[in-house]
Structure 1
Amino acid sequence: MNPIFKRTYSYWFLLPAAVVYFLIFIVPTGMSFFFSLTRWTLDDWQFIGLENFIMFFDEQSLSIGFKNTLIYAVVTCGLKVVLGLLLGVLLTSKLRIRNYLRSVIFFPTLVSTIAVGLAFSMMMHPSQGIINTTLSAIGVTGPDWLGDTRIALLSVALVDVWKGVGIATVIYIAGILAIPAEYHEALQIDGGNAWHKFWNIVVPLSRPATNTVIILAFIGGLRSFDLVWAMTKGGPGFATDLIASIIYKQYQGGFYGLATAGNVILFLVVTALALPLYTYLNRKEVDL
């Protein structure tokens, strides 16, 4: 056998994955960067340099979109971490119906995001929705969940948490079950209670799971679009407009080059926020 071929033999198995990655990620990304510098339609394009980026940053709603996107990402990420950890602890306990509850909690992640958004937009209707109807039955006047600019973004974020907490829970279940039994046995010998087990064993030793949930949930929150669009289309006003919804409105208006520049900016923003966070979390994990 040729010595060179023998040394590189194992790398040939990576070729199919490399080709797929090149075609569905590298090529579209490169084309997006190029077309963000053009004014283009489906059959023509004209190079205009950085004009699209200048126009995008001149958008009146952009500052609101950036603020809403960051708030949305932090709220959904934080709640998924906390609820995922608590549910992970509950569903790794000796609860008899834990397997059934695991299925129930994971089920929303299997449902279409658009379907979830439409369903909750009807449930949150101020006068006919089941949520406010139930509150009225017990003498409580429910708010206009999606029509009040003060709570609309939080309402959508809570629906996002309801749909996505199942993934976080599964990750935490795997992390908690991977903790060696010797730690639990040592705690029992020392006379530790359930709180000591949670705080001194589960929380620190499930940090890899926590880091994974934080990264996935934070990036997902920054890129979120479909749920917001299905529930509010960015309204009322600009109260729930995220960067992705602003970009979509530009596509709807036929400003393809401008919208492509917005996608490039969103890509750079997500990268600029996620990479330092990933590096910091990994360093903390190693220090642990």
Structure 2
Amino acid sequence: MSTIKIGWIGLGKMGVPMAENLIKSGLPVSVYNRNKAKEEELLAKGAQTAPSPAALIEQSDVVIVMVSDDRAIHAVFLGEDGLLSAKTSGKTIINMSTVSSAISREMSILCSNQNNHYLDAPVSGSVKQAESAQLVIMVGGEENVYENVKEILEKLGKLTLLVGGAGAGNAAKLAVNSMIGFYTQGLSEAILFAKKNDIKIDDFLTIINNGALANVYTKTKGDAILNNNFEPAFYLKHIYKDLGLARDQGLDTPLGEAAYESFRQAEKTLGDEDLIAIIKHLDSSK
């Protein structure tokens, strides 16, 4: 394992702690990020750098991609000096981004055409779980490719699970994030209903957090509301994006439509805040 060279693309809120965990494990890691300043933290901890995705894949055995959306995936894979412009063979590319199943299937075919391997492996969890390597990783792709890199993924999360072929990991992640969107909307509406009926928010959250519905999410997001802290652990604009992707892939339900529309409206002004900021939108739109 120590001889496997890792390339990492995408150093956002999740990418930095995830790449750092691989460095801590003793793996040689090279990084690429469009904003080169974001590389500095990892370079100081032992990472190497590459000037482009093409250069990165040439010096790596496994490349992990963690970017924001389908458009960024196209740029990383197919842009000038993109991964596939290097025309390597025998490499494994693991796309851990939350993107559409369609783009994963497209990239899987293009990688295969060059005799490279592709897995989609998005994660469930936020920055805290990324830092402590407690993510849940949903994988789509060929079983033999998955088995070859499973040990790497296990350095990033507490659970890795192969759920199907190319794109299946992305579909599983969109299902999970749809549920997160529904739950966040529901929690916010319940809090506002309680408040409207003269129940203190902290009293209501105490009830929730000591009953059958108690979980880490209600505790964390409840504390954020009480402290008026909307610093993003998960951007509201990203849950809106994910609900849109799920909608495009067949999420055609009353709750799905309602949540999508609510986050669509909120994203206009609250997109760069945490998704629990939906409560501010709901409170202001009464």
Q: TM class by shorter-chain length?
A: under 0.3
Quick check: which one's helix share is greater? 1
TM, length-normalised to structure 1? 0.22
When Rg is computed on C-alpha atoms for both structures, the one with the higher figure is 1
Which of the pair is proportionally richer in strand?
Answer: 2
Q: Quick one: higher RCO (CA 8 Å, sep 6+), 1 or 2?
A: 1
